[in-house]
Amino acid sequence: MYNNILVAIDLSKDSQKIIDTAVRMAGNDSAKLTLVHVVEPVAAAYSMDIYAVNINELQQEAINLAEQRLEKVGAEINVASDRVHTLLGAPASEVRAMASEIGADAIVMGSHGHAGWKILLGSTAIKVLHGATCDVLTVHVGSD
């Protein structure tokens, strides 16, 4: 049914559930999968003044760590290294842009399924859904 699935993960313990779902959707064909993880800019993640720290070094360290972890995940499920992407930016817009760039016919990502006021503040899954040009499957993760 789907031939080009973008799997967006945050590298948390919940990522395995998302990956397992995407692998099933791909019929166990890892060639149909592309993995993406988006590192938020340090300045955006920490709304404080950290003049004593070299922000560029801290940012690069975060990217390097994420790349290593994502490459390991990709290797474990046999996703080709050219289909494993660590990006820097706002997660929702980067995921949508990557989906468009690779011509994805589906995006698989996690969602905590918050309701009420938490949706109004906006989750990454909701932000990806609004503006996506392909199907989006959210996998319920977190506390049940």
pLDDT by residue (tens digit) across 129-144?
Answer: 888 999 999 998 875 5
Which residues fall within 8 angstroms of residue 52, CB to CB, at 6 or more apart?
none
CATH number assigned to the domain comprising residue 112: 3.40.50.620
Domain count along the chain: 1
Is 92's pLDDT higher than 90? yes
Per-residue model confidence (pLDDT) at position 121: 42
Name the 3-class secondary structure at 122: coil
**Triad 7, 13, 16: Cα angle to 5°:** 40
What is the rounded distance in angstroms from the CA atom of residue 27 to the CA atom of residue 78?
Answer: 13
Are 134 and 104 spatial neighbours (Cβ–Cβ below 8 Å)? Answer: yes
Which residues fall within 8 angstroms of residue 10, CB to CB, at 6 or more apart?
37, 91, 110
Please write the tens of the pLDDT for every residue from 25-58: 999 999 999 999 999 887 655 555 555 567 788 8
Chain-wide mean pLDDT for the chain?
87
Q: Which amino acid is at 44?
A: A
What is the rounded distance in angstroms from the CA atom of residue 83 to the CA atom of residue 32?
Answer: 9
Higher pLDDT, 120 or 93: 93
Give the residue numbers spanning the domain of 69.
Answer: 5-140
> DSSP letters of 39-87?
EPPHHHH--S--TTS-HHHHHHHHHHHHHHHHHHHHHHTT--GGGEEEE
φ/ψ bin of 27: left (φ > 0), alpha (ψ from -120 to 50), beta (otherwise): left
Q: What is the pTM of this model?
A: 0.87
Are 64 and 37 spatial neighbours (Cβ–Cβ below 8 Å)? Answer: no
